[in-house]
Amino acid sequence: METVALADVAAVLAEPSRAKMCLALLDGRAWTIGELARAAGVGPSTASEHVTRLRESGFVTGARQGRHSYVRLADPRVAELIEHLAQHAEQRPATGLKASLRARRLAYARTCYDHLAGTVGVAIRDGMVRTGLVAVEAGLTLTARGHDVLTGLGVPVPAGGRRPLLRDCLDWTERREHFGGALPAALLAHAVEAGWVSREPDRAVRVHRREPFARLGADLSA
């Protein structure tokens, strides 16, 4: 049974257009069918068929706002699966200047579903632990000082909910952990809104302001 289930999952992502859609959705945002069609290079009707397959397989979920229908990854576990599969694809040596520059941008800062990953993500984790904003002795815990620093930066600290506030997420380019969970998602959302960072179309993140991250103990001077 496990073999059959694994084969079914592999079959969903084996189709190149569906794989492109999943990679696009890995940025954590909700996409329309038309946007996914353009990302995958297929027509809207074909994209709709692929989304139906992804929804039936539990990869995506739908939402409606006004006249528009949106699609997003079902949950962080699905994002983590796709991120790890993408790891194997990205580990192949980049050929050409454009591919090499893209690989370097993704390695430095990128979105991992709805939180920061890459060199920047790992630096944030290291800094918050080193400066006592997060305690690790009995599991990942935001300290009172950490709460004060984040709220001072304007980052809303989520309260309650089913999703863990903090969890470790293995970073495939750094081979070390960055933070995942509800708090890092809130941090990224605020960082984009406040102009500290901006998203690139390929999941890369461009850092515009280092000072807020320095207050979290992250050294982004390199």
Parallel, antiparallel or unpaired: strands 115-117 and 110-112: antiparallel
Inform me whether the pLDDT recorded for 95 exceeds 60: no
Rounded to whole angstroms, what are the CA distances from 21 to 109, 111, 175, 182? 21, 16, 26, 24
The answer to whether position 144 is within a domain reads: yes
Range of the domain at 210: 94-214
Q: Are residues 110 and 184 in the same domain?
A: yes
Greater confidence (104 vs 101) lies with 104
Q: Are residues 25 and 117 in the same domain?
A: no
CATH number, domain of 54, equals 1.10.10.10
Q: Which pLDDT value is given to residue 116?
A: 94
The answer to whether position 8 is within a domain reads: yes
End-to-end CA separation in angstroms for the chain: 49
Inform me whether the pLDDT recorded for 1 exceeds 50: no
Q: Which pLDDT value is given to residue 64?
A: 75
Which band of pLDDT confidence, cut at 50, 70 and 90, is reported for residue 87? low
Section 59-84 average pLDDT: 82
Greater confidence (49 vs 14) lies with 49
The answer to whether position 105 is within a domain reads: yes
Inform me whether the pLDDT recorded for 105 exceeds 90: no
**Of 11, 42, 74, the domain-final residue:** 74
Section 125-131 average pLDDT: 97
In tens, the pLDDT along 146-171 reads 999 999 999 999 987 888 999 998 88
Which band of pLDDT confidence, cut at 50, 70 and 90, is reported for residue 88? low
Q: Are residues 67 and 101 in the same domain?
A: no
Q: Which pLDDT value is given to residue 97?
A: 42
Q: Are residues 169 and 125 in the same domain?
A: yes
Tokens in use for 147? 């709460």
What lies within 8 Å, CB to CB, of 132 at 6+ separation is: 143, 145, 146
State how many domains the chain has: 2
Q: Identify the burial level of 188 via C-beta atoms within 10 angstroms of its C-beta, where 0-12 means exposed, 13-18 middle and 19 or more buried.
A: buried
**Of 46, 74, 102, the domain-final residue:** 74
Q: Among the ranges 98-107, 146-155, 167-176, 196-205, which has the highest mean pLDDT value? A: 146-155
The answer to whether position 219 is within a domain reads: no
Inform me whether the pLDDT recorded for 3 exceeds 90: no
